Chains A and B, each alone.
Chain A
Amino acid sequence: MAEAQGGRSLVVDAVTHRYPSGALAVENINLDIKGGEIIALLGPSGCGKTTLLRIIAGFIAQTQGRIIIGDDIVDALPPNRRAVGIVFQNYALFPHLSISENVGYGLAARGVDKASRQREAQRLLELVQLPAMAERLPRQLSGGQQQRVALARALAIKPSILLLDEPFAALDKNLRLDMQIEIKRLQRVSGITTLIVTHDQEEALSMADRVAVLGHGKLEQFGTPSDVYDRPQTLFVNTFVGSSNRMPGVVVSADRTAAKIRLDAGTEIIARPAGGALAEGRRVTVCIRPEHLQFVGDETGFAGVVGMSLPLGATVVHEVTTADGSGVKVSQARVGETRALENGAAVRLALLAPSLANAFPATL
């Protein structure tokens, strides 16, 4: 994660924001983003991620804390002087201006003459692979094309930070993948520090160098995609990022790196104590991802009864009811003729490997 060319760092320093009603929107958020990084701000709707984006852009003045871009504290600067480029969820292209005028708008605001503006707009439109669209109006373009224009428009002002607000939410699935690759390519070329706000975990994990997971206005975890996915620090992260079975259990013995846990479903497993050491006898919630469970032929693991089976293309997901009555999902790769499981068949399940489970202190 070397310092990329041209990208400026962004520090969100202990930012707290309260709505006028007194409710907390975001609480004590700390993010230290290096120049040129792509960061995903991931969280469910209402978690405060859009508020944080608007604070960084300058549309909302935070109640407490500082925003530092490069070496400058920008809290006193209005949005039009922060040089932060934004791509809005609905693109927000100016409907009455041509594509070329849209892209050149920020340059016009900086007093750049018309000829240079048009040249620069054309160059950017070539960069986003829309060179022939300059004279069209936004409504004559498809959603994906409009997004490229919005991106070109944001890049035209040579922003120090690029903010993308749910950039792929309005695109259909195939186009979404194209645009994700496209944005990643443009980000590599320009080296601009980029912050993507999204509620889509796949998007966050595939696009970002690091992912900041937000829940209920608090920063739950800030780390690389594999950190967030494989070593979640909180139960919220474990269940929000990727899917996860939550199985109750009790600690048999534990040290800092591993805990032996007796699951209520009727087996003992080794799990990673995610939030630090766990005391013996403590009730815990163990998270096991569906793809980390497998059917076993011997008497190891725990017993269950197969309910529904959903073939999801590359994988088949089985819903299994365990002895204590809770349901777990098991994901099986579809290799050749996958053994069909009858509804009601008795099976035994075990972890693929030890320590693929994470244990969190039970909250109840």
Chain B
Amino acid sequence: MGAAPASRDVTSHGMGLAAPLALFFLVFFVAPLLQLLWLSLHNDTAALHWGLGQYLHFLTDPFSLSVLGSTLLLGAEVTAVCLLLGFPIAWLHQRVGPRLQTIIILIVLLPLLTSVVVRTFAWIVILGRQGIINATLQSLGIIDTPLKLLYTQFGVVIALAQVQMPLMTLPLITALGRIDPNLDDASCSLGAGSWRTFFRIVLPLSLPGVIAGCTLTYAAAITAFITQSLIGGGQMLFMPMYLYQQASTLQNWPFASAISIIFLLAVLAVVSVFTTLGRMSRGYGGA
């Protein structure tokens, strides 16, 4: 280092620090991904004959397409629930004292501190035929026969929303925290009511957080293998389980690889739609 030229660019050293992680990614992420791509481009399970047969099969098979569709829809529903429930919490966080703020953060983070498996089984206890919800409703005389909550789309959405909530709430809290509190007062003093202030000022300015939260929640929800399969049960099939069946049970690795690639592209497409929407809005202050 002693012989470094006087005009060396200090920023260039940053790249060297990233090298270990880059190497790790190369070996354990990029390489398997390329292998997956290579595998998916074969028409037979032994991977001897090149071709686009696996992709053609998926894209012409109504069943496969319906699995993809229901998975993407599930992600959208979970994201919507998280956004609608998470925004008020994040908003509240900005308006309470420091002690309550700590409590809110703790509540938001709590799901992250318990294992996904434990949380999912807890939801089975809550949603089951003799579960807490059905038992309560029956004892109150509101329903006669237990409602079917477990093994339904509704059950999966609710359980996933709870599991993924921190991914939505934390970016929202950050985004709302960046908004100058004087803007609220300014809007109010100019004669705007709370709703106008919210829709014209708070919401547009929190859009970066909304986009980040939606992207994270969506990506996490559609790939949540454990919660999807345990709460969804045998009747509901989503892409992660479909993929697992093809690879593990049927040993059809080329088709499983094609499913992965298609799934990956579908997720990337949805995420880039989110990001584009965000960039189009002027609330994206960085521009």
Contacts and interface: CB of A to CB of B under 8 A. Distances in A.
Interface in A83-114: 83-86, 88, 90, 92-97, 105-106, 108-110
B182 A88 contact: yes
Contacts of B185: 57, 59, 79, 86, 88, 92
A198 to B, nearest CB: 17
A85 B205 contact: no
Contact of B191 (A83, A94, A137): A83
Interface string B54-91: 00000000000000000000000000000000000000
B285 interface: yes
The listed residue with most A CB atoms (<10 A of its CB), out of B191, B193, B285, is B191
B180 A105 contact: no
Nearest to B204: A96
A109 B190 contact: yes
A95 B286 CA distance: 11
A85 B180 contact: no
Given A95-B285, A96-B204, A90 B191 contact: no
Interface in B175-204: 180, 182-183, 185-193, 196, 200-201, 204
B282 interface: yes
Contact of A92 (B183, B193, B281): B183
Contacts of A90: 180, 182
B53 interface: no
A80 interface: yes
A57 B191 CA distance: 12
Interface residues of A, number: 30
A92 B192 contact: no
A157 interface: yes
B283 interface: yes
Contacts of A80: 188-193
Contacts of B192: 80, 105-106, 109
A339 interface: no
B191 A110 contact: yes
Interface string B244-287: 00000000000000000000000000000000000001110100
A224 to B, nearest CB: 29
A173 interface: no
A106 B217 CA distance: 37
A153 B189 CA distance: 11
A331 B285 CA distance: 51
A250 B251 CA distance: 105
Contacts of A59: 185, 188
Nearest to B283: A96
A204 B200 CA distance: 36
A57 B186 contact: no
Contacts of B189: 57-58, 79-80, 82, 84-86, 154
A81 B189 CA distance: 8
A92 B190 contact: no
A104 B196 CA distance: 14
A59 B181 CA distance: 12
A92 B182 contact: yes
Contacts, number: 72
Contacts of B283: 96
Contacts of B190: 80, 85, 105-106, 109, 153-154, 156-157
Contacts of B196: 109
Interface string B89-111: 00000000000000000000000
A82 B192 CA distance: 11
A57 B281 CA distance: 32
The listed residue with most B CB atoms (<10 A of its CB), out of A58, A80, A85, is A80
Nearest to B181: A92
A84 B204 CA distance: 25
A105 B187 CA distance: 8
Nearest to B191: A109
A107 to B, nearest CB: 9
A261 to B, nearest CB: 49
A84 B191 CA distance: 9
Nearest to B190: A106
Interface in A192-244: none
A135 B190 CA distance: 20
Given A96-B282, A96-B285, A81 B191 contact: yes
Contacts of A105: 187, 190, 192, 200
A79 B182 CA distance: 13
Interface string A47-79: 000000000011100000000000000000011
Contacts of B281: 96
Contacts of A83: 191
The listed residue with most A CB atoms (<10 A of its CB), out of B188, B190, B200, B204, is B190
Given A79-B188, A80-B193, A94 B182 contact: no
The listed residue with most A CB atoms (<10 A of its CB), out of B189, B192, B196, B282, is B189
Nearest to B201: A94
A2 B282 CA distance: 47
A96 B179 CA distance: 11
A86 to B, nearest CB: 5
Contacts of A79: 185, 188-189
A92 B186 contact: yes
B273 to A, nearest CB: 21
A108 B201 CA distance: 13
Contacts of B188: 59, 78-80
B186 A88 contact: yes
Contacts of A96: 204-205, 281-283, 285
B286 to A, nearest CB: 11
8 contacts: A59-B188, A80-B191, A86-B185, A92-B183, A95-B205, A108-B200, A109-B196, A153-B190
Interface of B: 180, 182-183, 185-193, 196, 200-201, 204-205, 281-283, 285
Nearest first, the 5 A-B pairs at minimum CB distance are A106-B190, A92-B182, A92-B186, A109-B192, A109-B191
